[in-house]
Amino acid sequence: MYTRVVVLVATLLISCASGFAHVGGHGSGPLRTWRWNDGARHHMHGSFHSVRDGDVVVEDAQGRLRALPMGQLSVADREVVQSAINRLEALREPMRVQPDAQPTATLAPRELPHRLHLLAMGCVIAAVLGAAVLATKVLRMTSVQRRLRVRLAACAMLACVMALAPSVEAGLSAVMVGTDPATIDASFAPFKPRVATRWDATYFYVEHDGMPMDMPAMKGITAWQQQVPIPQNYVGTNAWSIPLMPLPASKPISLDTALHTGAVALAVNGLPIFNPENNRGEFSYEIGELDAFGGHCGRADDYHYHIAPVHLAERLGSASPIAWALDGYPLYAYKEPDGSNVAALDANLGHEWNGGYHYHATTTRPYMLAAMRGQITIDKDQVVPQARAQSVRPFLQPLQGAEITDMHQCDANHYALKYSLKGSVYWVNYRWNAANAYTYVMVAPDGTRSSTSYQRK
């Protein structure tokens, strides 16, 4: 009999732990067996991550993401996903901003849900242990006394659980509010229609052509890889994704030791922001790789920043973030949103302020985002999901001694970049057409021209 009691207690503990596990959120939560609608002949194990464009994104035990078409899953699994979506939508519903209301940043502290989660589990575990103690006493009673005591204890436990559950659920619902999409949308509004936005229950999506709006972009670069800005297809399923429910990581990811590939944040003008260190571990800002706005082009002729684009604060003011990190937290320039001086920053170069967490740019190393405070999924040393740039030509090598002195737009699809080398002036004229044919014309100091053409697939 005592063995049965121990097994019962263990079973209840496991059931309680499963019942209070998180649903969704970057692969957090228990591994679920996802079954196909083909009679369960096919299945996979993983935790619910998100829903994107009709696909269910599942994270396996190794942290790899896999997109499963919603229609491919069993009816039971589709109901689980829809329930998670409905719950997230319900949590955000009170935060919807009226058309004539001014959106305000409402980033709730994320530690509280975890504390409530632990508190709820503690209450249940205490109740189960109490039941175990009661059970051992019951063993010493007569059969009639035992049946009566067990029934009374079961009724009391059921009443406690029913009374506790709404309070715990209400407490969790009150704090699991995330970021109002309207707040994020307001920060991108000054750059529309060049920037397009949308969102679902999990992510805020940003579409952009990847071309710099501030001119002369590229000017001042002295460590140049002969790359120039061309349009990128950051649209549709390749749009940038900002989490709407940021959660603090148990151990923030340092940008000094990781995330040297791909973007770590997105500026509110739609341009990606990479690690302040390049892929060799050098600070791009300090070795002449960046222009006056903090940007340059990668090997795919993709323009991006390597420091916080603080010049945007001159246009937007201190009340608006200049970027959003890909962990879901906003990045501000050198002032707090109310215009006051920046308070003390933590090791991530961020802090809690007015009920929410945000990062700040700094004038000294590492200039922004020392570490990603929020939970993220990493694949091949980059945050995922991640929009991808597409090149049209083989990447070139650094041109030692060259300095970019100007760049301007000649017409809709035609740009000219000017650089000096050993006292002589050179030009790169490049254009593209509606059929995605790109032509690069190199003009030497004596007027000699060489042209190469490429077709983007």
User: Which pLDDT value is given to residue 92?
Assistant: 47
Identify the three-state secondary structure at position 217: coil
pLDDT of residue 68: 78
DSSP letter assigned to residue 245: S
Name residue 327's amino acid: D
What is the C-alpha separation between 288 and 223, in angstroms, rounded? 5
Q: What is the DSSP letter of 35?
A: E
Question: Quick one: pLDDT at residue 62?
Answer: 62
DSSP codes of every residue in 326-351: TTS-EEE-SB-TTSPBP----TTSEE
Instruction: State the Cα–Cα distance between residues 159 and 12, nearest whole angstrom.
Output: 17
What per-residue confidence (pLDDT) applies to 49?
75
* Main-chain dihedrals φ then ψ at residue 168, nearest 5 degrees: -65, -45
Q: What is the pLDDT of residues 302-315, one digit of tens each?
A: 999 999 999 999 99
pLDDT of residue 87: 62
Q: Which of 315, 284, 293 is nearest to 218 (CA)?
A: 293
141: tokens are 């009673």
Distance of CA 305 to the CA centre of its chain: 17
Cβ distance 255 to 326 under 8 Å? no
Q: Which of 24, 203, 176 is nearest to 114 (CA)?
A: 176
Copy the structure tokens of residue 338: 């109310």
Burial class (CB in 10 A: 0-12, 13-18, 19+), 201: buried
Q: Is the pTM of this model over 0.75?
A: no
In this prediction, residue 147 carries a pLDDT of 66
How far is residue 263's CA from residue 431's CA, in Å, rounded to a whole number?
Answer: 26
Cis check for the bond before 193: say yes or no (omega within 30 of 0): yes
The answer to whether the beta carbons of residues 419 and 445 sit under 8 Å apart is: no
Torsional class of 170: left (φ above 0), alpha (ψ -120 to 50), beta (otherwise): alpha
| Nearest alpha carbon to residue 429 among 447, 414, 445 | 414
Query: How far is it, in rounded angstroms, from Cα 322 to Cα 331?
Result: 6
Per-position pLDDT tens, the chain of length 457: 444 443 443 444 434 333 333 333 344 445 677 777 765 456 777 777 777 766 787 777 666 677 777 777 887 778 777 877 776 555 444 433 333 333 333 333 334 444 445 555 665 565 556 655 555 555 556 666 666 666 666 666 666 556 555 544 444 443 445 899 999 999 999 999 999 999 999 999 999 999 999 999 999 999 999 999 999 999 999 999 999 999 999 999 999 999 999 999 999 999 999 999 998 899 999 999 999 999 999 999 999 999 999 999 999 999 999 999 999 999 999 999 999 999 999 999 999 999 999 999 999 999 999 999 999 999 999 999 999 999 999 999 999 999 999 999 999 999 999 999 999 999 999 999 999 999 999 999 999 999 999 999 8
Q: Nearest-5° angle of CA 313, CA 319, CA 324?
A: 70
Tell me what pLDDT residue 160 has: 55
- Identify the pLDDT of residue 46: 77
Length of the chain: 457
What is residue 99's predicted lDDT score, i.e. its pLDDT? 36
Domain extent listing, the chain: 204-384, 403-455
Q: What per-residue confidence (pLDDT) applies to 125? A: 65
Q: What is residue 395's three-state secondary structure? A: coil
DSSP-assigned beta bridge partners for residue 281? none
pLDDT of residue 65: 72
pLDDT per position as a tens digit, 192-205: 999 999 999 999 99
Selection from 49, 206, 177, 187 nearest residue 113 by Cα: 177
Is residue 260 within 8 Å of residue 254, measured between CB atoms? Answer: no
CA distances from 160 to 123, 127, 171, 174, 319 (A): 10, 9, 17, 22, 47
Burial class (CB in 10 A: 0-12, 13-18, 19+), 48: buried
- pLDDT given for residue 47 in this prediction: 76
In sequence order, what are the beta bridge partners of 243? 203
Taking 3-state DSSP, the helix, strand and coil percentages for the chain, each rounded to the nearest 5, stand at: 30, 30, 45
Cβ pair 366, 283 in contact under 8 A: yes
Separate counts of helices (H) and strands (E) for the chain: 6, 24
What is the sign, positive or negative, of the torsion defined by CA atoms of 352, 356, 362, 364?
A: positive
Count of beta carbons in the 10 Å neighbourhood of residue 341: 7
First to last CA, the chain: 71
Helix 111-138 × helix 143-175 angle, to 10°: 180
